[in-house]
Amino acid sequence: MSQATVEADVLQTAGKGVRENPVDKYLRMERMPTIWCPGCGIGTTVNCFSRALDDSGFDLDKVAIVSGIGCTGRVAGYLKLDSFHTTHGRAIPFATGLKLANPELKVVVYSGDGDLSAIGGNHLFHAARRNADLLVVCVNNFTYGMTGGQVTPTTPYPAIASTTPYGAYEETFNLPHVVASAGATYVARWTAYHVRQLAKTMGEALGKKGFRFIEIIAPCPTLYLRRNRLGEGLEEMKFYKEKSVIKNGADPKDVGLDYREEIVVGKFVDIERPTLEESMEKRMREALGAKYVPYQQPGKMSPRS
Amino acid sequence: MSNAQSSGTLTGSHYLDGDHACSEGAIAAGCRFASGYPITPSTEVVERLSQRFPQCGGRFQQFEDELAASIALQGAAWGGAKAITVTSGPGFSLMMEHIGLAAITETPCVFVNVQRAGPSTGLPTQPAQGDMMQARFGSHGDYRLITLCPNSPQESFDLTVEAFNMSEEYRVPVIVMLDEVVGHMTEKVVIPPADQIKVTERRWTRKKPGEYKPFDANGALVPDMVKAGDGYRIHVTGLTHDDRGYPNMTVPAHEKMQLRLQDKILKNVDSIVRYEASDLAGAEVVVVSYGITSRIAQKSIQMAKDAGLKVGSFRLITAWPFPEKQIAELSRKVKAFVVPELNLGQMVLEVERVAAGRCRTIAVPHVGGTVHDPEQIFKKIQEAVR
The CA-CA-CA angle for residues B221, B222, B226, to 5°, reads: 150
**pLDDT(A305) > 50:** no
Question: Is the residue at A32 inside a domain?
Answer: yes
| Domains of chain B, earliest start first | 2-199 (3.40.50.970), 276-385 (3.40.50.920)
Q: How far apart are CA A151 and CA A147, in angstroms?
A: 11
Q: Is the pLDDT at B278 greater than 90, yes or no?
A: yes
Contact A203, A55 (CB under 8 A): yes
Handedness of CA A6, A10, A12, A18 (dihedral sign): positive
Minimal Cβ distance to B229: which of A62, A84, A291: A62
Tell me the residue length of chain B. Answer: 386
Q: How far apart are CA B363 and CA B346, in angstroms?
A: 9
Has residue A305 been placed in a domain?
no
The predicted pLDDT at position A304 comes to: 44
Over 90: is that where the pLDDT of A301 sits?
no
Checking DSSP bridges between strand A82-85 and strand A134-140, what pairing results, if any? unpaired
Contact yes or no for B224 and A304 at CB 8 A: yes
A119 assigned to some structural domain: yes
Q: Which amino acid would we find at residue A88?
A: H
B contact test, residue of A67, A102, A126 with most B CBs within 10 A: A102
C-alpha A224/C-alpha B258 separation (Å) is 36
Give me the residues of A, 249-288, that contact B with CB < 8 A: 276, 280, 284, 288
Q: Are A190 and A265 in contact (CB under 8 A)?
A: yes
Tell me how many domains chain A contains.
Answer: 1
Chain B contact for A300, CB < 8 A?
yes
pLDDT above 90 coverage of chain B, percent: 98
A140/A290 Cα distance (integer angstroms): 47
Chain B touched by A61 (CB under 8 Å): yes
Q: Which member of A94, A301, A305 has the closest CB to residue B71? A: A94
Structure ipTM over 0.85, yes or no? yes
A111, A81 contact by CB (below 8 A): no
Tell me the mean pLDDT in the region A194-211. 98
In a domain, A87, yes or no: yes
Full strand arrangement of the beta sheet holding A106-112? A244-246, A263-270, A186-191, A212-217, A134-140, A106-112, A63-67, A82-85, B235-237
Task: Report the C-alpha dihedral over residues B249, B255, B256, B261, rounded to 10 degrees.
Answer: 110
- The verdict on a CB contact (< 8 Å) between A83 and B233 is yes
What does the alpha-carbon distance between residue A203 and residue B181 come to, in Å, rounded to a whole number?
A: 54
Q: Are A249 and A268 in contact (CB under 8 A)?
A: yes
- By CA distance, what is B206's nearest residue in A? A303
**Residue A16 pLDDT > 70:** no
DSSP tag of B96: H
Is residue A14 in a domain? no
Mean pLDDT, range B299-324, rounded to an integer: 98
- Closest CB from A30, A98, A288 relative to B76: A98
User: What are the backbone dihedrals phi and psi of residue B145, each rounded to the nearest 5 degrees, phi first?
Assistant: -150, -175
A33 in a structural domain = yes
Mutate to test the interface with A, among B139, B237, B241 (most CBs of A within 10 A): B237
Contacting residues of B for A89, CB less than 8 Å apart: 67
How many CB atoms within 10 Å of residue B35? 30
Q: Could you list the residue range(s) of the whole structural domain that residue A89 is in?
A: 21-275
C-alpha to C-alpha distance for A72 and A117, rounded to whole angstroms: 13
- Flag whether A181 is in a domain: yes
Render pLDDT for A225-266 as a digit per residue (tens, 0 to 9).
999 999 999 999 999 999 999 999 999 999 999 999 999 999
> Which residues in chain A have Cβ-Cβ distances shorter than 8 Å to B72?
93-94, 96-97, 100
Helix B153-170 × helix B18-28 angle, to 10°? 40
Burial category of B30 from C-beta neighbours within 10 Å (exposed 0-12, middle 13-18, buried 19 and up)? buried
Name the least confident of A10-14, A147-151, B289-293.
A10-14
When pLDDT is cut at 50, 70 and 90, the band that residue A297 belongs to is: confident
- Residue B94 pLDDT > 60, yes or no? yes
Classify residue A288: in a domain, yes or no: no
Kindly give, in sequence order, each residue whose CB lies less than 8 Å from that of residue B138, ignoring residues fewer than 6 positions away: B92, B93, B96, B99, B131
Please report, for the domain that includes residue A92, its CATH number: 3.40.50.970
| Chain A residues inside the 8 Å CB shell of B81 | 101-102, 298
Looking at beta carbons, which residues of chain A come within 8 Å of B73?
A: 97
Q: What is the DSSP letter of B168?
A: H
